[in-house]
Amino acid sequence: MGSGIAQAAAAAGLQVVLNDTKPEFVEKGFQTIRKNLARDVEKGRKSREEMDAIISCITQSTDLADAGDVDFVIEAITENMQLKSGVFRKLDEICPPHAILASNTSSLPITELAAVTNRPAKVIGMHFMNPVPVMKLIEVIRGLATADSTYAIVDDLSRKMGKTPVEVNDFPGFVSNRVLMPMINEAIYCVFEGVATPEAVDEVMKLGMNHPMGPLTLADFIGLDTCLYIMQVLHEGLGDSKYRPCPLLRKYVKAGWLGRKSGRGFYIYE
């Protein structure tokens, strides 16, 4: 999602540093942006000049020290509190005092992330939807100490990026995943208990509930490991048995069947 966020920011005319841990990861993200923009040019949604202008706004980086003179950071790493906390500690040391630190977390508490920094008033959640260049929503999550001025800047930035910000409170899963993930988990239970095949479950939800994508196709798209992690956060954070991850979801993740990114999940991807 980091490359999608970088594309949306660059398309808004912002100067972007696209950072990852290895050059090949950064290059992969950069090429994804180029491919997305080239498709827009092909379909007449953008001109070649607009594509080149967006590309020119993006600088590639593998050194976190390159955040030393930025005004705003959006972190989009693996959904793991220990890893995210480590990055936020480093960013807090590297970034200028005025810089805002935002997380694209889909379920983890912003208040806890803010607590590892010396700038909790300038820490906030910006949960983008995937694919970022297409989806309009950003869930904006205030931590316990997030300042009104920080929220106002994020609201303005979100709109500048062509998105619609919606404020939600700092609870496990926020709104989107607190509603979506139990639906996906229940769809997996339907397969686990032999109620229907993955194809049948998806057809029912598409044709009966007018969903553009079935829940199991969506789970494969999100990543089954990510789905499992969010369900665990909901289960541990809210303590309700209705959030218990389906055993079949656990089994697929242990098998390395993570969905589209691994070539196999509820469906096989050649």
For the question of residue 106 being annotated catalytic, the response is yes
- Residue 196 burial (10 A CB sphere; 0-12, 13-18, 19+): middle
Q: Which of 3, 36, 107, 127 is catalytic?
A: 127
Q: Report the distance separating Cα 257 and Cα 250, nearest Å.
A: 10
Task: Provide CB contacts within 8 A for 270, sequence distance 6+.
Answer: 263
For the question of residue 139 being annotated catalytic, the response is yes
* End-to-end Cα distance, the chain: 22
Write out the two tokens for 266.
Answer: 């509820």
Q: Which of 3, 19, 104, 106 is catalytic?
A: 106
**Within its chain, how far is the Cα of 241 from the centroid?**
26
For the question of residue 127 being annotated catalytic, the response is yes
Q: Which of 36, 107, 139, 158 is catalytic?
A: 139
Q: Which of 19, 36, 104, 177 is catalytic?
A: 177
For the question of residue 107 being annotated catalytic, the response is no
Q: Report the distance separating Cα 124 and Cα 144, nearest Å.
A: 10
Q: Which residues are catalytic?
A: 106, 127, 139, 177
